Structure 1
Amino acid sequence: MKKKVSMILAGLVLLLAFQAGSAFASASKMDGIIDDLIGTRYSYGGTSTKGFDCSGFTGYVFDKMGIDLPRRSVDQASEGTKVAKADLKPGDLVFFDTSGSNNGGISHVGIYVGDGNIAHASTSKGVTIDKLDSSYYKSRFVTARRVMDEETFKTYAEAVK
């Protein structure tokens, strides 16, 4: 019975992937880029696979997808369009106040990767995946921005075919 349920779920996942079209292809490519970077060490000011800081990481990932972002997280927070936390989609940038001041200032950025998870460059773990609603990030969330529109998804999906 468990095997039958697993096969049905796998079929549904494939069907949803097919229906999602270009957005799925772009998200999958983004996931591949991020997966290759997991474990890369943290380096203040880092923008390469030798080491990343948070905005260096997001800039690197989006550059691989043909999207230029400003260098600093505070500047990245003005790109694209604002997105409510409840409406996040994979590829959205998420911004936090990790400075301890809790004044709503931007001091950290990550990429929403779906299922309540963010990819980011952590000072303690390097490039990693964490829960957006973890006890640490939940209270520090400031805003989110969508820098990839549907046309960008479509263009990028065609490029990776």
Structure 2
Amino acid sequence: MEDIKKVAVVGAGIMGHGISQVCAQAGYEVSMIEIEREALQTALSKIKYNLETLVKNHVITEGQAARALSRIKWTLDRSEAVRDADFIIEAIKEDMDLKKQVFKELDEECPEHAIFATNTSRLASPSLQRKGKKSLLVCTGGIHLTLCL
């Protein structure tokens, strides 16, 4: 992961905002992409709350929280956000046809070296492999992240 500098997270919902937060806390520049402005605002509120809670519980410092938040770029423009992404994590709803469509579009929008991953809990992901003109680099087993409440 040392060559990865920029992460793009497609989807800012239940899992997407948390993935964005963790990547930013780990030091990566993150573009969090959503199709609705309201969803981005909700995600931002949740991330701020999460970071404030971590500070309040002495898990991280205020400076660490501020730096993490500053690493996250919020956008509705997916093609702009993934243009220079090294690692792209898809975190949209569990709809295989929609995921296939998004992967097809991402394949045209992102750099050749980009690694694709899908955050899925139940869908088979081998059919999401990159099929376009770019190299085949994808986490075909998906990544399953657990939301801890």
Verify same fold: TM over 0.5: no
Larger strand percent: 1
With normalisation by structure 1, the TM-score equals: 0.25
Give TM-score scaled by structure 2 length. 0.26
